[in-house]
Structure 1
Amino acid sequence: MGDEWRAVETESEVISDERSELEDAFARVSDAVYTLNSDLRYTLVNERARSLFDRSVADAVDEPADADGAEDGVGTGPVTDRLESLFGDAHQRAFERQRQVTVDAHDERIDRWFEARCHPDESGVTVLVADVTERKRRERQLEEDNRRLRSIFEDAHDAILVGDENEIVAANPAASDLLGIDRSEIAGRSLKEFIHADHDVSSAWETFLEQGRLRGSFSLVRPDGTERIVEYNSVANVLPGTHLSILRDVTEARRREGELERHRERLAALDHVNGVVREINDAIVTGSTRAHLERVTCESLADSPSYEFAFIADVDARSKSITHRVEAGIDGYVQSIPLSTASDDPAGRGPAGKAIRTREIQVSNDVFADPDFEPWREDAREHGYESAAAIPIAYDSVLYGILGITSARRNAFSDEERDVVAQLGEILGHAIAALERKRVLLGDELIELELVIDDAVAMFDGPDMTGHSVWFDRVVRTGDEQYLEYGRTAAETFPLLEEIVERVPHWNEVSVLQRTAGDVKFELSITSPPMFGVIDAYGGYVEAAAIHDGEYTTTVHFPTGTDVGAVMDELTDVYASIQTVARRQISPSSESLDQLQHQLAEALTDRQRTALEMAYYGGYFEWPRDSSGEEVADSMDVTAATFHEHLRAAQHKLIAMILDDAETAGERSTDDR
């Protein structure tokens, strides 16, 4: 018996050692692994599996039999219960079939997806578990994206075709409607079959493949012989050798456009107005003065057989008075009739008064039936007109005057004619504003205002700016109501500036242009700024601006003769706390062209000047270019990179010389506080 017991003990020790070695091996495996015996009872569960499937009771997992209820050394407990609930059926199938079984399961308790790969043999099942939650999420996202794309494809109103030059491989329902055939009959056919013979398909196809995308239109012929006009937008090689085309039926739109064009041709009166517009534009191009533009407008209208006479009146914003500026086809008209800007005055309820208040064109297409035109009926009989229009001459927030037009035709200012006549006010307003800006830039005398807004940052609930400053060096108008402001500040102040941008409604975004030695240069985009809009509308510009300790200060230049009182009235309407610190009459200094050329000659190296001259005379700056950069570089016998390096350096010096001189030019001023 002693030998038998020793043999049993030895065998147990061997089994124990083998189990210990297996457990040690499992402990070194980074993936979750567990094993089951032939009775499908758990024999080993590594640490990764315990941590994945029951972190809250991990210390209770796979304890000895007397601790967790296991029998014969087989582990049971919370983790094995969880494993059984997730993958138990897979264990049995793998062992019975003696084939690997892979199964995915969702653990709702921790909201994770797991993949179990069950590897069976005669002694049991070894299971490797991987957390595939992210993969599942990507798969679901991909499925959702595919569903959306399919929905877009199926539900789009425009026809969508996918294929190559010779064969359509996919088409949506809208394509079936457009081509006039059943959707099942489209696949395998070519789009060329439906394109009218007059369209140069070969040239279009070559251009399409060369450019990678193409837009255009063609006539499409359906199998039943009917034709449709379609606009297309095609993209090449959305997949290798496969192209995408989106077709839109514009037949009815083109028909309506044709009818409108024919209708316009029948309206001879529009030719007269368009002629006036052309004459105004010609006067603008030749650099005319405001008085000349106004005279050309009135005389051109009065000379037209469509209109009786025209006038332009001035409107004083403060006194609310309307006064004569220029007229044609009549003498002393504005002074002879009652006019008012007040809505409670009968003389202010006509076209002129309404146009001043609304800043929109106002018409009376039958002056003898219009009750609001009663104060001027006798005047209409005397001068022989039946229709009248008043067009505001305005730009941004400034009203420069009122253009009045009369016609002997009843309903003269209807539909298209009304719209075209209204453009006269917009054109004149824009031109006058441009002339005012030109006058302030080139004038010998300027009005300089120094303005301050106390607690400007606090006005927008901005951060405390005590001890901080921001300088705005340049304001550039980039479009209607769109501006870019360039400035600088200390690096520690820039986060405060970013916070201010978030608080000010018309400040859109600030971006860093350069960081150097504790300073930050930035670019600030602004939309519809109240102050800039008023200043720009009066022909002025911001010379400099800054924020110091939360106060906003700015220096503004206006042309001589600007109604400063009107400017300040409008600015006060926007910023009640704005104050004028100083007002001066100044005389900007300038340098001669010879001086500029001398400075340029000193600043540029020989190669830089050569690059600039060759680029200029070689047509590099023309559009389209006469010579490419590579061609100019070849002429200089340098590489293209070297040429561009010289050219950029020369351009930088030239522009810096002009802009820096404009900023640093001295000014002679007389204080007029």
Structure 2
Amino acid sequence: MSSPQLQPLTVLLVSSSGLLPGSDRSLDAADPMIDAERSDSADGALERIEANDAEDDRIDAVVCGHDPPAVDAVEFVTTLRKRHRELPVILLPGDGSPEFVEGALAAGATDVVQAPPSSVSPSVLANRIRQFVRPADSAGGSPNDASGAESNDQTSSEDAPTDDHISVLSGAVREIRHAEERDAIATVISDAVRGILDAPGVAVFLFDDRDNLLRPAAMTDEMCEYYGGETVFGPGKPDSITWRVFVTGDSLLFDDLRESEACVNEDTDARSSVFVPFGEHGVVVASTDAVGTFSERSLEVIELLTTTAEATLDRVESAENLRRRDRRRRERETRLAHLERTVDLVASVDRALVDAESREAAEAAVLECLVEDGEFDFAWIGGVDARTGELTPREWTDGGGQYLDDLSLAVDDCDEPSCRTARQWQPVAERNVAETLDGDGWERDALAADFHSVLSVPLVYEGVQYGVLSVYANRPGGPTEPLASVLDGVGKTTAYAINTIERRLSMLSEGVTELELRIEGVDDVLNVVAESVGTTVDCLELRPWPDGSTAIRFSAPDVSVESVLSATSGLVAVHSVTHVGGNGAHCFDAVVGGEMVGSVVAASGGVTQTVTADGRSLVVTVTVPDSLDVRTFLDRLARRYPDTELLARRERESASMARGSFLQRLESSLTDRQLEVLRTAHDQGFFQSPRDATGQDVADALGVSQPTISHHLRAGQGTLLSLLFGEE
């Protein structure tokens, strides 16, 4: 194929600094038919263009940089277009922003190369210039609107670009520049290459950085046949020219592809082929079934497209990275906002529980905190009535009372999340009520009340269920997993607060109910010891410790010390046991891990008075304060110990008393002298450790002998301890 006869061109390079790597003269070297002139200012360039009256002194195209104030590309193009609307102007702004590109094109720039000038090949730029310079003999006259130019004696070769090709190329460049998606860019390149080069086989491969593979983003059916179905290249894939070109970054032109050693399909019908990489983004491949179809001009056409594509893909990926970072930032801000709301919610619940003086006040305060947060539209707390088996609401917020009235909350028969939580003692969430809509179930009542998501959590502390907390929202999808976990914690905290309030009220209660209970089938340390030594074991004292273990003192009559120590030595739950003496029955102090009946009684709201084990069952005497309903206490205990039998019930006054009553009892039990001695000793620091005053100091203060002070101190302390430990 003969070499094309090129039209001589005069190109004006406008920049206050060099535009091309090496020197601007490299453009002349890349295309000897181009005469490159240079102007270092916009004003100078405009004067040169205005002076081109003679045809042999005419400027055919302008390449302009952007380095204000000497050269402001957009301002230059705007001024130029007032006189010369058709003169091709190609801008090389460096890393121009999308806003700059839009402004330049709107001002009338013919093309904008979105790549650093140092990376622009002079030959590619020369080819790009020729794509936009219309031949002098074509319709429409010369590029700078000079009319009547005679046709050039030189004729275009068969592979010189036609007006139609220039139009396709220009349109493709514009489409690529404005594209926002990788696949769209690949499609434009594929269509343009096929249209301009008349190539049946065209493929655009894009690099997938998730698995480091080249994958076809646009491919004609003919090209798929040329490749023989093997169209993904990279590590672990067959060796191929496509992957080699991508890795090396060098374009390749083959007159006959089958003569290549790295042809992936040895039986391919592809002959003349061109492979052009575009940076780190991918490779463009064009093929025909004839030998020698493509030339260096074909290569330059594709390089023109890939240069624009590379710059556009850089912009697209940069914009996508910005969007991704912005999206991650918004997500972090959203998570932070949720975290702050969650912290505020937990803090408000904690404050409300600390301030509450009754169970009713505590539950109402928690519900108010939950709906005030705005995450939920309705909340309620209920407890299971052991006599009816129904979940009975105790406290609720506004906006859902009718919903509760319409429901039948039989725990064993109802699938409403609150009832399922009461059965399972586990949180239950329905994040989209409409998804489970079936028949005439609770879901229809919930949707009628505009409740689209539900979360129920148990109120459990120390193995005792104090009720169920349920929250509802008028939108699907909530609450999120982190918030659901927080609400589960709120349920536990509320249960602990209820237990604390009941214990405090029990201490202040003037009356108590004494219950005698038999509990069968209890795997308790006392029962194990009683069965082992063959006698009853009485628990004399029981004190829970913060680490979850329990300190107990128990007695075992008519047995040897060794038999008791032997019975406890093999028990994993017994951390330690010590013989402490005793009259008639040996007494032992032990520290026991795991659950004890006394701890369950305390968690249920009662106080253990005595425990007797016979190896088969426990007989427990407990007191329940007037502030706690006996039936509620028994229901809680029965959930842990189903085989509990009430043997006796007695009403009696509480052994505990308020501070005022205690002081009255103390003052009435002490003599005036004893009270005076105790108060003086306390004020002087006699009871501090180390002591701030001795017995002699107290005696001197009261004007009595030291032995007298010692006598009154012992007598007064004895009376105080008797009142404290309930001894009359």
Answer 1 or 2: which has greater strand percent: 1
TM-score by length of 2: 0.45
TM-score by length of 1: 0.48
> Which is greater in Rg?
2
